[in-house]
Amino acid sequence: MKIIIIGAGPGGYETALLAAKRGVEVVLIEAGHVGGTCLNEGCIPTKAFCKNAEVLDGLKDAEAFGVTGLSYGFDFKAVAARKNIVVEQLRGGVEGLLGHKLITLVRGKASFKDAHTVVVGDEEFSADYIIIATGSVSASLPVPGADLEGVLTSKEILDLEELPKRLCVIGGGVIGLEFASIFNSFSSEVTVLEYCKEILPRFDTDLAKRLKQCLSKKGIDINTQSQVLSISKEGDQYKVTFLRKGKEESVVADKVLMAVGRKANVDSMNLAEAGVEFGPRGVVVNEVMQTSQPHIYAVGDINGKMMLAHAAIFQGLVALDHMMGVDNDIDLSVMPAAVFTSPEAASVGKTEDECKEAGIKVKCLKSFFRANGKAVTMGETEGFCKVIVEEETGLLLGCHLFGPHSSDIVQEVCALISRKSTLKQLQDIIHTHPTLTEVIQSAAHQ
């Protein structure tokens, strides 16, 4: 069996590695760097910044831990250099793995000649199956000034050489808030403008509200229900004008980050030539990632289902299993998600609002990090955990939390929900003391 994979982001390269391990011959085509958005301009570089932000936050809090006389500086260029080293190290690792004898890595931009032929430059490739994993690109607002230099995408802000004194972030979703939190820790003055009623529109509203309060307390100026009308440049600074509650207001900043979502990268591949159906949200796929052409699959951001690196990886696995006739227990509807603000937020399963809308009767069990021994010793007591349980069956349906290491903690409930476990089963699991994971135990025993 032979497959062509277009795009070597997490969806593409992880699937290529797995296929090769199973003895499948793979042609992997990549127009840029292996690792895709995730490794080069997404998950990894931002998390390298998050670590620096965490160190700075710790230093700011040091006096509370009896540390005195501390003097420290902050070198943004060194932070950027460390981020680049992290990215290069991991990229080198992926390149090494892709040296597998069954994988041919082709550098260049791929497009379809027809449903069975993929072209790169003057080379043509064909195979039994094709996987499209070409990811997504930053979206922008159709407002005057959106294309001004200094209005940055999430990729461009990672390459800044100077720390902006004032940063305006347009968009209070996951990417916008992560950068807002990072630059707040780096001591920039940060303003967030969000169109919706609440930040993190797809998250549990309770969680979003409380996280907003927490981030506001840290000094981030978060404005919801704010519709950006225009951006203009005045000297070295940018004026972002927005409409809030019928009133025009503005914010002045040294840089503006446009973080209003991402759009599937459907334009570059001649999808129409291949007869692959796609729309504004991306390539249309069924539950096993098959497109309108049964031998062509589309995984990751390109299908617009869930724009997360681990979603891309597991969709790739589902697609590969399907073409090879392998059974699995993967439930793609149980998809954990994290927001790497300070503190972090994380979520898995149904939200309280979704349960209400679906008419599912639930109980919401809550606990707070301020009552968690480990969190108190760490001096990181902001946050809460909410576990959602179906009243009738006791089945675990969701978990939403923010607080220290939420992105790690959520994984326990993710494992239980994906194995259709009940509250009683969670209650019977022993948690190590003192650990942050006890926040789940406390919620479960409410």
Taking the complex as a whole, how short is the minimal distance between the CB of residue 73 and ligand FAD, in angstroms?
27
**291 belongs to the binding site for ligand FAD (CB under 6 A):** no
Which of 143, 151, 220, 309 is in the footprint of ligand FAD by CB under 6 A? 309
**37 belongs to the binding site for ligand FAD (CB under 6 A):** yes
State how beta strands 396-402 and 345-349 pair. antiparallel
CA pair distance 106, 435, nearest whole angstrom: 46
**175 belongs to the binding site for ligand FAD (CB under 6 A):** yes
Which of 110, 169, 253, 388 is in the footprint of ligand FAD by CB under 6 A? 110
Piece in contact with ligand FAD (CB under 6 A), picked from 6-14, 206-214, 240-248, 395-403 = 6-14
Tell me the CA distances in angstroms from 214 to 76, 102, 348, one per residue in order.
Answer: 25, 50, 21
- For residue 168, the cross-strand partners are 191, 256
Taking the complex as a whole, how short is the minimal distance between the CB of residue 98 and ligand FAD, in angstroms?
12
**53 belongs to the binding site for ligand FAD (CB under 6 A):** no
Q: Which is nearer to ligand FAD, 62 or 137 (CB)?
A: 137
The runs of H, that is alpha helices, within 135-236 are: 154-158, 174-185, 205-217
Which of 17, 103, 135, 350 is in the footprint of ligand FAD by CB under 6 A? 135
CA pair distance 369, 374, nearest whole angstrom: 9
Q: Pick from 259, 300, 265, 291: which is nearest to 280 by CA?
A: 265
Taking the complex as a whole, how short is the minimal distance between the CB of residue 326 and ligand FAD, in angstroms?
21
**11 belongs to the binding site for ligand FAD (CB under 6 A):** yes
**301 belongs to the binding site for ligand FAD (CB under 6 A):** yes
Identify the helix (H) or strand (E) that includes residue 404: none
Q: Which is nearer to ligand FAD, 342 or 372 (CB)?
A: 342
Q: Pick from 310, 267, 269, 334: which is nearest to 131 by CA?
A: 269
Taking the complex as a whole, how short is the minimal distance between the CB of residue 32 and ligand FAD, in angstroms?
4
Taking the complex as a whole, how short is the minimal distance between the CB of residue 360 and ligand FAD, in angstroms?
27
CA pair distance 300, 133, nearest whole angstrom: 6
Which of 4, 12, 297, 405 is in the footprint of ligand FAD by CB under 6 A? 12
Dig out the tokens for 213 from the structure: 């309060």
Q: Which is nearer to ligand FAD, 5 or 395 (CB)?
A: 5
Q: Which residues ranging from 337 to 376 are in contact with ligand FAD (CB under 6 A)?
A: 340
In sequence order, what DSSP letters do the residues of 349-373 get, joined into one string? E--HHHHHHTT--EEEEEEEGGG-H
Taking the complex as a whole, how short is the minimal distance between the CB of residue 88 and ligand FAD, in angstroms?
15
Tell me the CA distances in angstroms from 216 to 219, 259, 305, 404, 436, one per residue in order.
Answer: 5, 19, 31, 17, 24
Active site residues: 433
Size of the site for ligand FAD (CB under 6 A): 37
**176 belongs to the binding site for ligand FAD (CB under 6 A):** no
By the 10 Å C-beta count (0-12 exposed, 13-18 middle, 19+ buried), 233 is classed as: middle
DSSP at 20: H
**29 belongs to the binding site for ligand FAD (CB under 6 A):** yes
Which of 4, 16, 24, 38 is in the footprint of ligand FAD by CB under 6 A? 38
CA pair distance 341, 180, nearest whole angstrom: 8
Dig out the tokens for 166 from the structure: 């004032």
Site string for ligand FAD, 313-342 (x = CB under 6 A): ---------------------------x--
Binding site for ligand FAD (CB under 6 A): 6-12, 29-32, 36-38, 42-43, 46, 109-110, 133-136, 154, 175, 265, 268-269, 300-302, 307-310, 312, 340
